[in-house]
Amino acid sequence: MNILKPDKRMQIESLRRYYISLRCCLAQRNIMIVKLVIVLLVGAHLQAAANPLRFRNLKLADRKMSPIISNGMEGHSAIQTTDKNSRYAGEPTSTIQNIQVTGLVADSTGVPLPGVTIYVKANKSIGTATDENGRYILDVPDNAVLVFSMVSFESREIPVNGRKVINITLRPATTRLDETVVTAFETHQKKSDMVGSVTSISAEDLAKNPSSNLTTALAGRAAGLIAFQRSGEPGQDNANFFIRGVTTFGYKTDPLILIDGVELSATDLARIQPDDIANFSILKDATATAVYGARGANGVILVTTKEGAVGKAKLSFRIENSISEPTRNVKIADPVTYMKMYNEAIVTRDASASPLYDEDRIANTASGANPIAYPANDWQKLLFKNYTTTKRVNLNVSGGGGVARYFISGSYDRDNGLLKVDHRNNFNNNISLNSYTLRTNLNVNVTKTTQLNARLSGNFDDYTGPISGGAEMYNEIMHSNPILFPAYFPTDSAHQFVNHILFGNSLDRSGSGVGYSNPYADMVKGYKNYSRSLMQAQLELKQDFSFVTEGLSARVMGYTYRQSYFDVIRSYDPYYYQLAGYDKMTKAYTLTPLNEDLGTEYLSYQQSRPVVSSSFYLEAMASYNRIFKEKHGISGMVIYQMKGSQSSADGDLQQSLPFRNLGVSGRLTYNYDKRYYAEFDFGYNGSERFAANHRYGFFPSYGLAWTISNEKFFKSLKSVVTNLRLRTTYGLIGNDAIGSADDRFFYISNVKMNDPDKKATFGGTTGSTYSLDGITVTRYANSDITWETSREKNLALDIGLFEDLTITAEFYSQYRDHILMTRTVPLTMGLSAPSRANVGAATGRGTDISLNYSKYFHNGFWFQAMGNFTYATSEYKVFEEPHYDEPYRYHVGHSLSQTYGYIAERLFVDDKDVENSPLQNFGEYGAGDVKYLDVNHDGEITDADAVPIGNPTTPEIVYGFGFSVGYKSFDMSAFFQGLANESFWINTQPYSSENTGSTVPFVSDGEVLKAYADSYWSEDNRNINALWPRLSASGNKNDNQISTWFMRDGSFLRLKQVEIGYSLPKRIQQKLHATSLRIYANASNLFTISKFKLWDVEMGGNGLGYPIQRVFNIGLNMDIH
Amino acid sequence: MATSCKKYLDIVPDDVATLDNAFSTRAEAKKYLFTCYSYMPKNGNIDDDPAMQGGDEIWRILYRRNGYTDMARGLQTKVGPIGEKWTILYKALRDCYIFLDNIDRVPDMETTEKRQWIGEVKFLIAYYHFYLVRMYGPIPLIKHSLPIDASPEEVQVSRDPVDSCFNFIVHEIDEAIPDLPLMSYDPVQEAGRITQVVAYAMKAQILVYAASPLFNGNTDEAGLKGPDGTQLFDQTVSKAKWDSAASASLKAIEICQSAGLKLYDYRDQNGSNYNQFHLSDTIVTQLTIRNAFCEKWNSGIIWANTQAFSSVQGIALPMMDVARPENHVPRGEMSPPLKIAEMFYTQHGVPIDEDKTWNYNGRDNLRTADSTYALYIHRNYTTAALNFDREPRFYADMGFDGSVWYGQGLYDDSHPSDLFYVQAKFGQIDALQFDRGSITGYFIKKFIHFENVVEAGASYATHDYPWPIMRLSGLYLLYAEALNESQGPGPEVYQYLNLVRQAAGLQSVESSWDAYSINPSEYKTQKGLRDIIHQERMIELAFEGQRFWDLRRWKEAARMMNAPIRGWDGQQKNAEDYYRPVTIFNQTFGTKDYFWPINDKEITANKKLVQNLGW
């Protein structure tokens, strides 16, 4: 049957193995193997490869293709076959008697497995792979031990013992020991070889989150990631995420995000389609991030997208439809209660003042006598729908031939907001975010050893929504008078010929004309369009230099991208009317126009300054990777990087100058016998922000690992403890993103040469006056300011038990010093800008633990569970502050996001209680106001009584756990997520344009939260533990101090996501020419366990904003080959 | 590659703006001069000037509370001091010294101009220090600018004794004077800049402050000592301080005269407006009083703050025009309490409780105005007896329920009933409401230029004027006060007092007291004359932002401001009910309230700084 010489034959067998593994890998979406196979196949005739039956007749043209194989396989573990040493050192096969073994390989449910690699353990060059029906034929020495392996399945070793038929089942891999992760510069490393700290999230898990925003899926998915979401507004719903918490007081606390090596923003990450993701890794410790230099100081999130695989075009399609609703709506007191409480608020503070709403009005509003004369608006109902819908479609096509491979994906997401639309307008003012992504990844084999990759992608957001945004509408309904006027008047006979809506309003209290906010008018009066786009082009050239020396390769990569944003607001000026001459008997009324001169029936137009930015990046890398004498694994790489960016959104000249980084970094690793590992990394980085003598920093790191389970003495334990590994790293990382983003060039002063705040005016005895703007120093030069440095330690333990359970536990600490901070300088110095120096220091400490459990049963039932836990604390170590008399005032020793405030004891009982208590220095107060604790016993409440209160505002603990079960075609998964050790404060700060989320009633027409109406101190009901203190129409400074009174526990546990899926039977799939067809339904945020009930607890102090959504989603996923 | 790498990061061009650029040309340096001026506290601004609503002279409805109304209500605190100027004025001082340190480098300037600018900035250094001393008492003097990298020991400055403060301030003014022009020779562009007139007059005022009881041997402050035990207030009263105050005041008056200043008189205006109506003497006197304050750059203005144009006209003006109820720009909210209404003299120029002919005890009784009062009170209108038979300044400076309000578009006074008048009882157009109107029933007319017109819609056409910091009549009264303290009663004291009274349409102090006072010899004693001068000053400069500071420097605040703020009962519809005085607020004033507290944070940041007593 075999017409080729043995070695040729073996070559072909191995080729065939690869090819088949390609097929199965496509099914498994493990693109890196695909890559490998494709590279291999470049050397072969690809027409043949397309048809496995013809494969055996293939004549191999050239065996020099092996370098390409090794290139494609660098660092890859699934199949180790191309080691020349082993190949040629192996026993000559001809001396042994061969027998032909045939058999069937199936999975634990009995389904045949195509593409399982089978080779002889002692001679990897003898091998094959199962065909489409899971069958194989292989001539082997009769004493051979066969290794059956396939990605995602456990390898099995079966001695032939002369048998001619060997049927086996493979169990799905559980320990994931052989899994690779993508580390810095897209190097694939086996988990079992890792020294640094890298976690990955599977794209499938990310895809389970029914949201068009990828960042919302991150919380609880990976150990070491602190993530939480504060808003549910489409386009504004990015989760905040930090790797191992926040340990700097500089401005940049979020991680570096690299998508295919391109540094992008959180919003760009949010728009990535899970279906396009090949790998998602999180780099946490010093050695893992070192090679990124200054850019990686807060950790790195690394995403690589899929690439095409050789073969027929493969089409993959996903469509999802969701319904979403707020997890919880804030409840507001009814209008009658509002009026009564308003009157009480005036009179309770000033007995001589007259109430605002007379009894007559209250009674008529309560009876609902006439909703036009006595309106009672539930703005929430008037403005918002109960639920909205979302659509997501993703389509990708991949494939390729000998010269080139492609992966093209396109997706379309449409997220709608919850706002109502007034159909009298002919435009849509609801939020509608249309996001389109197009991605093309192209790999071209220029020569046998040269690969050229081109990636082009674009992401486009087209948004329509209310002028000031959805969150602002939510805030506005909380600050609009519910009873003063209706949202609009029905068109009466006097106005039957006008074309506009007769919006309600009233004369302003503090001037004339229209002064109230009518949120309905503000919502429907116009809309905002914005367009955001990101276009990127990336070119990468890989050259294998194995012909120079084995294991040497080089890579040059460059990219550029352009981001643009512009928005346009189109709106009319609403015509407002006020009720006049209302006759109670006939209910007749007339309407007085309030702004005849200003209202318009046509749209006007307003445009913000467009923001355009460009980025440029270039990296050159040489790497070397080789194993000597089977035991000495050596790898090294050197990378040169340069980066520049520029943006049109400049505040001043210094802002307009390009942002640049430059650096050289490198990595050197050595392992001995897969037991002892050592790694050394460094980054040598330059930043334009510092004076020439401080511009460059050298940041080395090293790591050691020991795979105990590979030691001889461990053999007896290995059936129980399949893997035991200890790792530790230590390193220095620099950060130049210090101070604030606007603050650059610390070594030169900055002067605002025309500052209108320093304007002076003279003259004007006749005619106009004479003015000149003044000059302000906005930064004092300090040429000593330099890198913030972080010393990071990591200790990790990997344990694998019974092949079912893997545990990774990591313990880390960071010590950051040279943190830039503002010095304490008395005001008598008269500085107009802060004086700063690198004097601060802080530590971060924490633990990341992850657990994975998988169990497959022969009856077709499988079960997987995962859990992970992140604990990240921070602490001030050096913080320049005044010498306090009270030790508790010092920040040192406390978390970086520790809040300081007063300890609220209770509300004052009466004025006598006030007299007998320490003086409180915040403004007028009396019975029913918050009583604070005099911590230092000096008889008054001052700054010195503010103590650290509550937990940090950034959660210290984030965890997630979930499980997936499957039985034949059905699968189901659930994922819980929670966080703990977080405090937040109900927003009781006075309303302002910066603080529109204030919950204070009456101030700026603040509505009354129902919770406040249900529990507040009043003269009749002197509840000293009431939720809200004594009412005030103008706000009370004493009560709105940051204190424990409004502190709440931010911890929660929620059912983040649950999914049920069903794969349609094969015959249906075949009818549709599909290779896989699965329908599923999933939901997010079904319930939350928390003590806090006013709004979704995850929103923290931002509770009046756009609520976080609960989503119900159905979807369909289909692959066609 | 190494050099190209270096260049790659060297992206800052050489000509990025730094402090050097601020003094590279005269034009840029002039901007820095203006920067030094830009810090001037905005007199008359309700959010920047504590003297407006922070004392007992002007009250507001609670709805309009701001920092200073809270201060008036006794809510001052060291945790977040209300209306503190510590931060901004020390910044101002740093900029002034940056100017002085660099002005020599400007290449294209003539020496005389440079010296003039230096003189102006030196004066500002003195003025900013003075403002701080007035608020805080002894302060750390800034005699030069500390470098940005000064050591923590250097930046921790301590408070200098009061006398050193005044000496330094006067020294700076003395240094500045020779380089300043006598008066502004380019008033179209430069009016408001510092001149010798300003410098001499302010020096006089500063020396009067230094001689006044608050700073001259104030034994209440005996306990205020520096960290090394230095007494910050000299404990002995020095009469010499009054001597130098008197001579400085006289010098200032002479300088003013040489610059052509004289007390404003409506009749002096070339081709007086509205001559065609043959205005009555009553109205002309009222306009003389009103315009002396709000006619910009009139002949009696010594220094007006061009950084603070009148911003209170709309807030003070009542609506009055029943034909335009929709125009809510007039707010009528600045409310003088009853005690201010009672402070003004009777028509005979003596206090209401001293006038033999005036029924003091019956002042709350109702009385209906007949036609003899037609230019003061709307004919047949019933109002309190308190509002009858008062001096011209009472009617020129204030409005009240029933009072005639000349101007605002109606200039013919021959039919007084057609002029605007105030109606402030409940339900009337100027009634007290939740969010507008006078809480006391009195309104301030002095702020409002008589030619301002309330128009239809939401429009209000105003004549804006820079807020007068010092008027000639104020300087005359300073001289009278200092002379009386230094030499006792005498003709020269009476002379300057009478100049002011004469402009206000009153008889001389001698003849008024002789003829009408139950205490006719009061003006002949130093103590009696002191009281007369004080009251004259409070009346003449009413609402101008002086009483707040004067009560403090005289140490009379504890007496005057421990009294209830009272007004008419704005909730009432009928005159019988309306004209019952109600207490609006029980104001208190303690010794500690004479000075601002220094922010606790500053005390924490600088251990050498001692807090003011009582805080």
Exposed / middle / buried, residue A556 (Cβ in 10 Å: 0-12, 13-18, 19+): middle
Report the chain B residue with the minimal C-alpha distance to residue A597.
B457
Determine, for residues A781 and B17 on separate chains, whether the beta-carbon distance falls below 8 Å: no
What's at B275, amino acid-wise? N
- Tell me which residue in B9, B10, B86 faces A827 most closely, judged by beta carbons: B86
Which positions in chain B touch A657 (Cβ < 8 Å)? 11-13
Mean pLDDT of all residues in B387-414: 95
Q: How far apart are CA B348 and CA A1015, in angstroms?
A: 61
Say how far residue A138 (Cα) sits from the centre of its chain. 49
Report the chain B residue with the minimal C-alpha distance to residue A830.
B91
Which positions in chain A touch B456 (Cβ < 8 Å)? none
Determine, for residues B187 and A763 on separate chains, whether the beta-carbon distance falls below 8 Å: yes
For residue A152, the model assigns a pLDDT of 62
Determine, for residues B38 and A770 on separate chains, whether the beta-carbon distance falls below 8 Å: no
In the three-class reduction of DSSP (H, G, I as helix; E, B as strand; rest coil), residue A442 is classed as strand
- Tell me which residue in A352, A771, A943 faces B601 most closely, judged by beta carbons: A943
Q: How far apart are CA A907 and CA A909, in angstroms?
A: 6
Report the chain A residue with the minimal C-alpha distance to residue B299.
A765
Which positions in chain B touch A781 (Cβ < 8 Å)? 18
For residue B564, the model assigns a pLDDT of 95
Q: Which two tokens stand for residue A418?
A: 């919850």
Q: How far apart are CA A661 and CA A697, in angstroms?
A: 12
Q: Where are any strands of DSSP class E within A608-763?
A: 611-628, 632-647, 659-672, 676-687, 696-707, 721-735, 750-763
Residue B370 contacts residue B376 (beta carbons within 8 Å): no
- Tell me which residue in A512, A828, A924 faces B329 most closely, judged by beta carbons: A512
For residue B336, the model assigns a pLDDT of 97
For residue A173, the model assigns a pLDDT of 58
Residue A272 contacts residue A301 (beta carbons within 8 Å): no
- Tell me which residue in A512, A764, A1034 faces B328 most closely, judged by beta carbons: A512
| Residues A902, A927, B47: CA angle, nearest 5 degrees | 70
Of the residues B34, B156, B467, the best mutation for testing chain A's interface (the one with the most A CB atoms within 10 Å of its CB) is: B34
For residue A10, the model assigns a pLDDT of 53
- Tell me which residue in B79, B434, B606 faces A354 most closely, judged by beta carbons: B434
Which positions in chain A touch B435 (Cβ < 8 Å)? 509-510
For residue A75, the model assigns a pLDDT of 36
Of the residues B7, B10, B12, the best mutation for testing chain A's interface (the one with the most A CB atoms within 10 Å of its CB) is: B12
In this structure, is the dihedral angle defined by the CA atoms of residues B345, B349, B352 and B354, taken in order, positive or negative?
A: positive
Residue B92 contacts residue B128 (beta carbons within 8 Å): yes
Report the chain B residue with the minimal C-alpha distance to residue A660.
B9
In this structure, is the dihedral angle defined by the CA atoms of residues A896, A897, A902 and A903, taken in order, positive or negative?
A: negative
Residue where the block lists tokens 């191995």: A14
| Strand A1076-1084, strand A983-985: pairing | unpaired
Residue B8 has phi, psi (to 5 degrees) of -60, -35
What's at A919, amino acid-wise? L
Determine, for residues B306 and A761 on separate chains, whether the beta-carbon distance falls below 8 Å: yes
C-alpha distance from residue B452 to each of A131, A445, A908, B173, B317 (Å): 98, 84, 50, 38, 10
Q: Pick out chain A residues at pLDDT < 70.
A: 1-96, 108-111, 124-125, 151-152, 172-179, 508-513, 649-651
What's at A306, amino acid-wise? K
Which positions in chain B touch A767 (Cβ < 8 Å)? 188
| Residues A902, A907, A911: CA angle, nearest 5 degrees | 115
Q: Give the closest-approach CA distance of A344 to chain B in angstroms.
A: 13
Q: Where are any strands of DSSP class E within B270-415?
A: 301-309, 366-368, 382-384, 398-400, 404-405
Which positions in chain A touch B154 (Cβ < 8 Å)? none
For residue A772, the model assigns a pLDDT of 94
Q: Which two tokens stand for residue A777?
A: 């120093």
Q: Which two tokens stand for residue A273?
A: 């389609």
- Tell me which residue in A660, A780, A781 faces B9 most closely, judged by beta carbons: A660
Q: Which two tokens stand for residue A949?
A: 């209160």
Q: How many CA atoms lie within 13 A of B229 on its CB side?
A: 0
For residue A471, the model assigns a pLDDT of 87
Which positions in chain A touch B68 (Cβ < 8 Å)? none
> Residue A305: beta bridge partners?
A277
Q: How far apart are CA B572 and CA B431, in angstroms?
A: 9
Q: Hey, how many other C-beta atoms are within 10 angstroms of the C-beta on A626?
A: 16
Residue where the block lists tokens 């009894």: A359
Mean pLDDT of all residues in B31-44: 96
**B541-575 pLDDT per residue, tens:** 999 999 999 999 999 999 999 999 999 999 899 99
Closest alpha carbon to B18 in A778, A692, A833, A650: A778
**B422-456 pLDDT per residue, tens:** 999 998 999 998 788 999 999 999 999 999 999 87
Q: How far apart are CA A51 and CA B422, in angstroms?
A: 102
C-alpha distance from residue A565 to each of A529, A613, A780 (Å): 11, 9, 33
Q: Would you place residue B387 in the very low, low, confident or very high pLDDT band (cuts 50, 70, 90)?
A: very high
| Strand A1052-1063, strand A1047-1049: pairing | unpaired
Q: Which two tokens stand for residue A1074?
A: 């599909």
Q: What is the pTM of this model?
A: 0.81
Q: Which two tokens stand for residue A265?
A: 């923003």
**B173-184 pLDDT per residue, tens:** 999 999 999 999
Q: Which two tokens stand for residue B412?
A: 């013919």
Closest alpha carbon to B340 in B589, B542, B99: B542
Determine, for residues A781 and B21 on separate chains, whether the beta-carbon distance falls below 8 Å: no
In the three-class reduction of DSSP (H, G, I as helix; E, B as strand; rest coil), residue A407 is classed as strand
Determine, for residues A751 and B21 on separate chains, whether the beta-carbon distance falls below 8 Å: yes
In the three-class reduction of DSSP (H, G, I as helix; E, B as strand; rest coil), residue A187 is classed as strand
Residue A364 contacts residue A406 (beta carbons within 8 Å): no
Q: Would you place residue B16 in the very low, low, confident or very high pLDDT band (cuts 50, 70, 90)?
A: low
| Strand B382-384, strand B420-421: pairing | unpaired
Query: A351: which residues sit within 8 A by CB, 6+ positions away?
Result: none
**B528-545 pLDDT per residue, tens:** 999 999 999 999 999 999
Which positions in chain B touch A642 (Cβ < 8 Å)? 8
Which positions in chain B touch A921 (Cβ < 8 Å)? 77-80
> What's A714's DSSP letter?
G
> Residue B585: beta bridge partners?
B565
Residue A210 contacts residue A187 (beta carbons within 8 Å): no
Q: How far apart are CA A555 and CA A568, in angstroms?
A: 43
Q: Give the closest-approach CA distance of B30 to chain A in angstroms.
A: 8
Residue B347 contacts residue B391 (beta carbons within 8 Å): yes
Determine, for residues B434 and A826 on separate chains, whether the beta-carbon distance falls below 8 Å: no
Q: Give the closest-approach CA distance of B458 to chain A in angstroms.
A: 6
Determine, for residues A356 and B90 on separate chains, whether the beta-carbon distance falls below 8 Å: no
Q: How far apart are CA A220 and CA A870, in angstroms?
A: 8
